[in-house]
Amino acid sequence: MSDQSKISEEQEIKQQFNELLDLCPRCQTAEGKRLIQKAFELANEAHQGVRRKSGELYILHPLAVARIVADEIGLGAKGVAAALLHDVVEDTDYTLEDVEGIFGKKVADIVDGLTKLEGVFDQTKSRQAENFRKLLLTMVEDIRVILIKLADRLHNMRTLESMPEHKRIKIAGETLFMYAPLAHRLGLYSIKSELEDLAFKYEHPRIFEEISAKLEDYKDKTQHLITRFSLPIIERLSNERYEFDIKGRPKSIYSIWRKMQHKQIPFEEIYDLLAIRIVFNPKEGIPEKAQCWAIYSLITDIYKPKPDRLRDWVSTPKANGYEALHATVMGPEGNWIEIQIRTERMDEIAERGFAAHWKYKGSNEKESELDNWLQRIRDVLDNPDSDSLEFLDDFKLNLFSQEIMLFTPKGDVKVMPKGATALDLAFEIHTELGYKCIGAKVNYKLVPLSYELKSGDQVEILTSEKQKPKYDWINFVTTAKAKTRIKDAFKKERKGIIHRGEVKLEESLNERKLTTNAKILKKLQTYYNLPSKEELYFKIGKGVVNLENLNKILSDKTANKWIRYWRLSFVKNSDKQDKMKFGKDSKKTQMVVSDDMETEEYIIAPCCNPIPGDDVVGYLDQDDKLILHSRKCPVAIRLMSSQGNRIVSAEWESHKILSFLAIINLSGIDQIGIVSKITKVISEDQTVNMRSIHVESHDGIFEGTIYLYIHNTEDLNNLIFNLMRIKGLHNVTRQERIHGN
């Protein structure tokens, strides 16, 4: 490297550091600046000469993370110092003891929480899940750990281009599954949206570019409409002497795609793309809530509101602290336009989340939902016996799900995850109440323990001293707290049953001159659809699973009636060698799926049923068999977040020999001959074979499902296009899941 390049890099580092100091409003004391200067100097010296995959000097990464922490999240000097040092212990010769000696225990504890696990791991466990558990253990003691980790993840996503594709897929999947929901849960809306968009960009680059281009075109076409809509509002608010700012509220590309998928509609039919945000400085002496409603009243004097689209998070803030009033009104030219009304305080909490929440939290404020959320994390972490992947699922289910608001008979509010049952609520209130629960009264009507509660329900828990906990309760509770308490009540008894089941299985295998091994256990777990070997032993011990058909299960090549093997292979032609890539230890990192019919070692995942043309990813299971998933499949996203080292990037070759099962759903106006028109279009298409058709008609509307064998998505899309030309047929969509998976 030339001397000139070296000087240029040193100048860039110095400039980045000076900008960091300028952008940190909570680091302006002499003591704060000294701490950050010291952390920077140590990190710069420790990472001296090291470069990232992109070629840039490594020190620019901790500087960028510290900048996000200071500017976009709003942490103080200790948080910024820990961000600068976050990779020092993991990647250099410095130890935690060194960090503690120089910077004190608090900074060292944060750095420790950010350092990955070391040493030898049980290979059956997920390293990613174990790392995440450690991160959360530290987080409940100091929330800055997770905030810095989110900043670290955000910068890694911003610079992901330099990583190999299989690593990009793994990191993007992990981000969507865990880190973006975590940012949302902590109220970091802008970080959450950027993480989702960046992950989506690497998982579905083609779709990302399409939606991005459509969104830019849409903004250009509708800019005049937003201006025309805003002018009367600006005039009214100015007349009322409000200090305010009106700006467009951008909708993220990922959220647009999610809505398109969920509602099965094209981009053009999403009606809330148009949105504005009103942020105002509240007048003194008048409650903020009253002023939000006053502004809403002024706006609805001009534009008619859509009654079912009013969202009042001013009276009852979201669990992550978010406060705002949302409404949708009919704007000029017949367009629905969403408005968001916030004070400047509410806006800062919406953008900076947890950090801003604590800034505004008064010392006398009652315990917030964020505090309750941290307590629920402690409940999840409280179960040391849980498997790491089970823990990850519990965490995802309980702490990232949507929430419902419930009322006690006295009118107190309880916030629970969506899907919670009456028994979940009983355990949430008190463990003993859960153990004694026999049912509940919901809105004065008697309901069973398993009744799924809805937001707004008033719930009275009914108990009996004669009631004893039952292990099968675990099948209909959803919260980690309830599951853990039920397991606690049966822990000793369960251990005995598991041991009994293990002995039974060993004896049965010994009779067949076999011994217990991972392959046999995997086959049995797959056949009976059980999540762990402990659950398998438990079911055997209880007699739920009998071993009479053991020979059949072990000789069955699939061990699962829904799994179908397709003859797929790696392309071996010399002109396609660039598509064959191998990582460390000669493990496959990329596969190309073709018509080559040499082997039968690959599986088309039944949960998402990908077909040629879909964006796909490969997963290497414990038997080193490659399973092909759609990249947007929830199972694939979970695997990427917990078993990233087994993820293989994959792509389809042109398929014209093999046929794949696809399902399309249709709906439209019922009329004579509509079914014959549909079957005529299908029969005339030489690239498609119809397996079955099912049509139902009611109230002048028909709905149908057709099972087809097709070669690829291009053939399927052509067929859908031809079907949509039939008069009376209003909707034709592909169903991507089969057999209820």
Here the CATH number for the domain that contains residue 396 is 3.10.20.30
- pLDDT above 70 for 310: yes
Is pLDDT larger for residue 661 or for residue 324?
A: 324
Q: Of 339, 19, 74, nearest to 191 (Cα)?
A: 74
Residues 46 and 70 in one domain: yes
Let me know whether 25 and 122 are in one domain: yes
* Domain count within the chain: 6
When pLDDT is cut at 50, 70 and 90, the band that residue 61 belongs to is: very high
pLDDT at residue 390 above 60? no
Residue after which a domain boundary falls, among 489, 507, 533:
489
Residue range 450-473, pLDDT digits in tens: 999 998 899 999 999 999 898 889
Question: At 692, which CATH number?
Answer: 3.30.70.260
- Among residues 91, 209, 216, 598, the one annotated as catalytic is 91
Same-domain check for residues 571 and 623: yes
Q: What's the average model confidence in pLDDT over 592-606?
A: 63
Q: Are residues 581 and 513 part of one domain?
A: no
Same domain, 120 and 31: yes
Q: What's residue 115's pLDDT?
A: 79
Cα-only R_g, the chain: 29
From residue 625, how far is each of 151, 169, 519, 558 by CA, in Å? Answer: 36, 19, 12, 11
133 occurs within a structural domain: yes
Residue 625 sits in the same domain as residue 504: no
Mark whether 535 is an active-site residue.
no
Q: Please say if the pLDDT value at position 383 is more than 60.
A: no
Q: Count CB-CB contacts under 10 A for residue 514.
A: 13
69 falls within a domain = yes
Q: State the pLDDT at residue 560.
A: 39
Residue 178 domain-assigned (yes or no): no
- pLDDT at res. 577: 39
C-alpha atoms less than 13 angstroms from C-alpha of 395 in its C-beta half-sphere = 30
Strands (E) located in 368-525: 403-407, 413-417, 437-442, 445-447, 459-463
**Residue whose entry in the numeric block shows the structure tokens 């396609």:** 576
Q: Quick one: average pLDDT of 64-68? A: 93
**Is this structure's pTM higher than 0.75?**
no
Task: Compare 141 and 604 and report the one with higher pLDDT.
Answer: 604
Q: Is residue 598 very low, low, confident or very high in pLDDT (cuts 50, 70, 90)?
A: very low
Is 352 inside any structural domain? yes
741 versus 25: the higher-pLDDT residue is 25
Residues 31 and 143 in one domain: yes
Residue 106 · residue 141 · CB < 8 Å? no
Q: Give which of 135, 182, 152 is closest to 354, Cα–Cα.
A: 182
Asked whether residue 365 carries a pLDDT value surpassing 80, the answer given is no
9 and 51 part of one domain: yes
Q: Is 281 helix (H, G, I), strand (E, B) or coil?
A: strand
Torsion of CA 226, 227, 228, 231, to 10 degrees: 120
Query: Does one domain contain both 453 and 403?
Result: yes
Can you tell me the mean pLDDT for 494-500?
87
Domain boundary among 360, 389, 415: 360
For position 68, what pLDDT does the model report? 92
Poorest-confidence range of 74-83, 389-398, 583-592? Answer: 583-592
pLDDT over 70 at 711, yes or no: yes
pLDDT value, residue 588 = 54
529 is a domain residue: yes
Pick the residue with more confidence: 54 or 462? 462
Domain membership of residue 348 as a residue range: 205-360
What pLDDT score was predicted for residue 558?
44
Q: What is the pLDDT of residues 149-177, one digit of tens each?
A: 899 999 999 999 888 887 888 888 888 88
Query: Confidence band (pLDDT; 50, 70, 90) for 364?
Result: very low
| Pairing verdict, β 729-735 and 275-281 | unpaired
Q: Are 241 and 279 members of one domain?
A: yes
Question: So what's the pLDDT on residue 617?
Answer: 84
Contacts of 569 (CB under 8 A, 6+ apart): 593, 594, 596, 597, 598, 599, 602
Distances (CA, A) of 167 to 8, 159, 164, 199, 209: 31, 12, 5, 12, 21
Tally the C-alpha atoms within 13 A of residue 200's C-alpha that lie toward its C-beta: 20
Residues 8 and 153 in one domain: yes
Looking at residues 94-109, what average pLDDT do you find? 90
What is the arithmetic mean of pLDDT over 646-674? 79
Burial (CB count within 10 angstroms: exposed 0-12, middle 13-18, buried 19+), residue 571: middle
The answer to whether the CB of 64 falls within 8 A of the CB of 54 is no
Active site (annotated) includes residue 91: yes
Catalytic residue among 10, 41, 45, 90: 90
Which of 232-236, 567-571, 716-720 shows the lowest per-residue confidence on average (mean pLDDT)?
567-571
Three-state SS across 161-175? HHCCHHHHHHHHHHH
**pLDDT above 90: residue 234:** yes
Angle value at C-alpha 361, between 357 and 365, nearest 5 degrees: 130
To the nearest 10°, report the CA torsion of 223, 225, 227, 232.
-170
Categorize the per-residue pLDDT at 130 as very low, low, confident or very high, splitting at 50, 70 and 90. low
Tell the residue number behind the tokens 């599954």, with chain if given: 177
Single out the residue of 75, 73, 46, 76 nearest to residue 61, CA to CA: 46
User: Can you give the pLDDT at residue 455?
Assistant: 84
Q: Give residue 645's pLDDT band: very low, low, confident or very high (50, 70, 90).
A: confident
The answer to whether the CB of 330 falls within 8 A of the CB of 336 is yes
Has residue 194 been placed in a domain? Answer: no
CA distances in angstroms from 425 to 69, 419, 450, 478, listed in the order given: 37, 11, 11, 10
Residue 193 resides in a domain: no
Percent of the chain residues past pLDDT 70, beyond the cut: 80
Query: Residues 256-309: pLDDT tens digits?
Result: 998 888 877 888 777 677 789 999 999 998 999 999 999 999 999 999 998 888
581 pLDDT more than 50: no
Residue 594 pLDDT exceeds 80 = no
Handedness of CA 628, 633, 634, 638 (dihedral sign): positive
Confidence of residue 124 (pLDDT cuts 50, 70, 90): very low
Of all residues in the chain, the percent with pLDDT exceeding 90 is 21
Same domain, 484 and 624: no
Q: End of a domain among 135, 162, 189? A: 162
Query: Given a cut of 70, is residue 22 above it in pLDDT?
Result: yes
Asked if the structure places residue 190 within a domain, the reply is no
pLDDT interval class at 236 (50, 70, 90)? very high
